[in-house]
């Protein structure tokens, strides 16, 4: 029920939906990239009071909050005191204390001011201090790093934070962004790429408003909410931040433009013995008799694709990704075959130009039917590609086929994982200038790695247009290989099956 639909006697929920999701996430290590003044620290204080007030058997622990400065630590500890009163938890008044730096650390400021609240019944406390990651070593409990991107020594804080996890502690890092090369953004990228365990919450200012932030402001100020005033308020906030709004409000780290894949990285994962096959049909081919169209394409498949499929190791597990185009750009199919070391190779890449819808279906089905132990596929389901994604799901089952809408969120979550496959030498593609140029066409567009709408290049083989097609198909194939056995947000339905076959050597 929305807040505007609540009867007068029913107050709104204390926490907004994105605050509730943050608290409900029980991950040992969670990170929030957020817009300014969205109230996430306030919600974190509520969770921390519940943790520190609980006894050990119920998961109680000490909580250490590291703010950027004294004002932040005071604001946080005041919020904790407020929550303790509202939760009716017995707690001490706020206590000020001093942590002394060790003499051999060479820090001129030997004293660190701390603020603490003790919970006598549980024996735990909440301690808030300005950034001094060295003082966290050897401590245990829950560590909260606020405005992490602005900490004086974030890498040291992250090191100290990860040590908390060893003995059952928890870590929460919360921050707006502060540049693409900042350690906070690098950590977010590592988690998205799957190289670092953890969960990410992305809370843009607009998302917070959609979930009730301005209504909460009105409630606090005693104002009547209207849609018109909300729109004007939001525009006023963006006008204040102006050119910094992307980073300060929309979770887009600054200076995040340029090629996403370096040439050297892609070339290092290419093998010149792997072929790229191109099926290019003349204009008007779609008007020829059906039998002629089927026969012509089948002859091409038998001559060019069948020998490659027959040579695949029969015990390997296989996947595919397909980027669809009917005219102008290419349709590209990237099969991936997994070896016994869990590395994946594209035994070939198949590119199609000006191939009719029905013949693209014919080609896709021929390839998938010939793949050993087919485990999952991912189709670009935008526009006309939705037809081919749908018929593939009908033939092979929705549990096998991911019908992917290539949204901003999909690119943000999955391109880093695909890039990580190159960085970790987990993927091999054919050495081909078109495939290379497609990967080089991926750009950071306002913090999202994707092929921009204007990112067309010329195909050196036939002079036609390319639009990052092989890179998108490769990313879809990698996506299918990672998600072949679990349901995910971007698919139509179901859990893609997993083959029981052994990998090949």
Q: Does pLDDT of 488 surpass 70? A: no
Q: Is the pLDDT of residue 10 over 90?
A: no
Confirm if 505 and 401 have CB atoms less than 8 A apart: no
Per-residue pLDDT, 98: 64
What kind and span of H or E run contains 445?
strand 443-445
Beta strands 317-323 and 374-380 are parallel
Residue 100's pLDDT band, with cuts at 50, 70 and 90, is low
pLDDT-based confidence at residue 479 (cuts at 50, 70, 90): very high
Quickly tell me which residue has 């909260």 as its tokens: 144
> Burial, 170: exposed, middle or buried (Cβ in 10 Å; 0-12, 13-18, 19+)?
buried
Per-residue pLDDT tens over the stretch 462-476: 778 888 999 999 999
- Rounded to a whole number of angstroms, the CA Rg of the chain reads 27
Length of the chain: 505
Q: Which residue in the block uniquely carries the two structure tokens 């001129």?
A: 108
- Whose CA is closest to 107, among 136, 86, 126, 134? 134
Tokens of 403: 């019908």
Q: Does pLDDT of 478 surpass 90?
A: yes
Position 356 scores a pLDDT of: 93
- Look up residue 351 and give its DSSP letter: E
pTM, to two decimals: 0.67
Q: What is the pLDDT of residues 211-247, one digit of tens each?
A: 999 999 999 899 999 999 999 999 999 988 887 888 8
Instruction: Count CA atoms closer than 13 A to 455's CA, side-chain side.
Output: 22
| Residues in contact with 186: Cβ distance below 8 Å, sequence separation at least 6, in sequence order | none
Helical ranges in 251-374 per DSSP H: 263-267, 290-304, 306-310, 357-370
- The Cα 232–Cα 67 span in angstroms is 32
Q: What percent of the chain has pLDDT over 70?
A: 88
Dihedral of alpha carbons 45, 47, 48, 54, sign: positive
User: Which distant-in-sequence residues (6+ apart) come within 8 Å of 108 by Cβ?
Assistant: none
* Range picked from 97-111, 157-171, 263-277 for highest mean pLDDT: 263-277
For 141-193, what is each residue's pLDDT tens digit? Answer: 999 999 998 887 888 888 888 888 888 899 999 999 988 878 899 899 899 98
Q: Which residues contact 257 (CB under 8 A, 6 or more apart)?
A: 443, 444, 445
Rounded distance between C-alpha atoms, residue 323 and residue 309, angstroms: 20
Residue 110's CB is within 10 A of a number of other CB atoms, namely 12
Pairing of strands 63-67, 124-130: parallel
The gap from C-alpha 283 to its chain's centroid, in whole angstroms, comes to 41
Predicted pLDDT at 495: 33
* Contact between residue 346 and residue 428 where contact means Cβ atoms under 8 Å apart: yes
Alpha carbon dihedral 323, 329, 331, 336, in 10-degree steps, equals: -60
Question: Within 10 A of 85 (CB to CB), how many other CB atoms are there?
Answer: 11
The greatest distance separating any two alpha carbons of the chain, rounded to the nearest whole angstrom, comes to: 88
User: Could you tell me if 253 and 33 are in contact, meaning their C-beta atoms sit under 8 angstroms apart?
Assistant: no
Residue 285 token pair: 């081919």
Dihedral of CA atoms 455, 489, 191, 417 in degrees, nearest 10, equals: -40
Q: Is 160 exposed, middle or buried (0-12, 13-18, 19+ CB in 10 A)?
A: buried
Tell me the pLDDT tens digit for each residue of 106-125. Answer: 444 556 678 899 999 999 99
CB 109 within 8 A of CB 132: no
Over range 271-288, report the average pLDDT: 94
Measured between alpha carbons, how far is 27 from 461 in angstroms, rounded to an integer?
49
Summarize pLDDT for 336-394 with one digit per residue, the tens.
Answer: 999 877 899 999 999 999 999 999 999 999 999 999 999 999 999 998 899 999 999 99
How many CB atoms lie under 10 A from the CB of residue 430?
Answer: 22
Per-residue tokens: 44: 């974190």
Res 489 pLDDT > 50: no
Give the pLDDT confidence score for residue 503 in this predicted structure: 30
Q: Let me know if 24 is exposed, middle or buried by CB neighbors in 10 A (0-12, 13-18, 19+).
A: exposed
pLDDT digit string (tens) for 298-328? 999 999 999 999 999 999 999 999 999 987 7
Task: Report pLDDT for 160.
Answer: 82
| pLDDT at residue 505, as a whole number | 25
**Phi, psi angle pair for 242, to nearest 5°:** 50, -120
Residues 6+ apart with CB under 8 A from 353: 278, 279, 280, 281, 330, 331, 462, 464
Contact 466, 456 (CB under 8 A): yes
pLDDT of residue 155: 85
Of residues 309, 305, 341, 360, the one with CA closest to residue 473: 360
So what's the pLDDT on residue 456?
76
For the ranges 77-91, 236-250, 261-275, 483-497, which has the lowest average pLDDT?
Answer: 483-497
Among the listed residues 280, 274, 294, the one whose alpha carbon sits nearest the alpha carbon of residue 329 = 280
What is residue 130's predicted lDDT score, i.e. its pLDDT? 77
Which residues have CB under 8 Å from 360's CB, separation 6+? 324, 326, 331, 352, 388
């Amino acid at each position: 029920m929305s807040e505007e639909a609540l009867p007068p006697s029913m107050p709104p929920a204390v926490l907004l939906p994105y605050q509730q999701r943050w608290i409900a996430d029980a991950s040992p290590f969670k990170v929030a990239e957020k817009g300014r003044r969205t109230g996430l620290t306030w919600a974190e204080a509520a969770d921390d009071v519940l943790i520190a007030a609980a006894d050990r058997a119920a998961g109680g622990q000490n909580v250490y909050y590291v703010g950027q400065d004294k004002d932040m630590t005071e604001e946080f500890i005041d919020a904790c005191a407020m929550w303790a009163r509202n939760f009716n938890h017995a707690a001490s008044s706020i206590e000020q204390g001093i942590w002394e730096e060790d003499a051999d650390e060479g820090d001129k400021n030997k004293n660190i001011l701390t603020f603490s609240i003790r919970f006598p019944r549980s024996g735990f406390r909440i301690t808030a201090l300005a950034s001094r990651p060295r003082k966290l070593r050897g401590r245990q409990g829950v560590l909260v790093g606020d405005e992490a991107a602005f900490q004086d020594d974030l890498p040291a804080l992250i090191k100290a934070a990860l040590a908390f996890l060893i003995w059952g502690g928890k870590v929460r890092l919360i921050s707006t962004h502060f540049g693409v090369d900042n350690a906070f953004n690098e950590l977010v990228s590592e988690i998205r790429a799957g190289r670092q365990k953890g969960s990410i919450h992305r809370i843009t200012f607009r998302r917070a408003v959609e979930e009730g932030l301005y209504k909460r402001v009105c409630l606090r100020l005693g104002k009547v909410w209207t849609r018109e005033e909300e729109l004007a308020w939001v525009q006023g906030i963006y006008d204040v931040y102006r050119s910094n709004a992307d980073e300060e409000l929309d979770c887009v780290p600054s200076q995040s433009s340029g090629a996403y894949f370096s040439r050297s990285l892609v070339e290092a994962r290419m093998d010149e013995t792997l072929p790229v096959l191109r099926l290019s049909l003349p204009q008007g081919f779609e008007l020829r008799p059906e039998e002629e169209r089927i026969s012509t394409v089948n002859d091409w498949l038998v001559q060019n694709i069948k020998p490659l499929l027959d040579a695949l190791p029969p015990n390997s597990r296989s996947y595919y990704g397909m980027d669809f185009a009917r005219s102008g750009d290419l349709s590209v199919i990237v099969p991936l075959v997994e070896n016994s070391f869990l590395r994946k190779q594209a035994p070939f890449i198949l590119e199609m130009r000006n191939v009719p819808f029905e013949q693209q279906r014919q080609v896709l089905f021929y390839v998938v039917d010939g793949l050993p132990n087919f485990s999952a596929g991912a189709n670009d389901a935008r526009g006309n590609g939705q037809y081919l994604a749908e018929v593939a799901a009908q033939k092979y089952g929705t549990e096998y086929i991911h019908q992917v809408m290539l949204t901003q969120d999909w690119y943000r979550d999955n391109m880093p994982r695909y890039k990580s496959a190159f960085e970790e030498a987990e993927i091999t593609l054919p050495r081909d200038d078109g495939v290379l140029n497609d990967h080089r066409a991926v750009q950071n567009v306002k913090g999202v790695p994707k092929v921009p709408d204007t990112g067309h290049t010329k195909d050196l083989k036939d002079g036609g247009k390319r639009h990052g097609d092989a890179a998108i198909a490769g990313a879809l194939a990698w996506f299918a290989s990672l998600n072949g056995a679990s349901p995910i947000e971007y698919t139509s339905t179901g859990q893609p099956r997993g083959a029981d076959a052994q990998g090949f050597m």
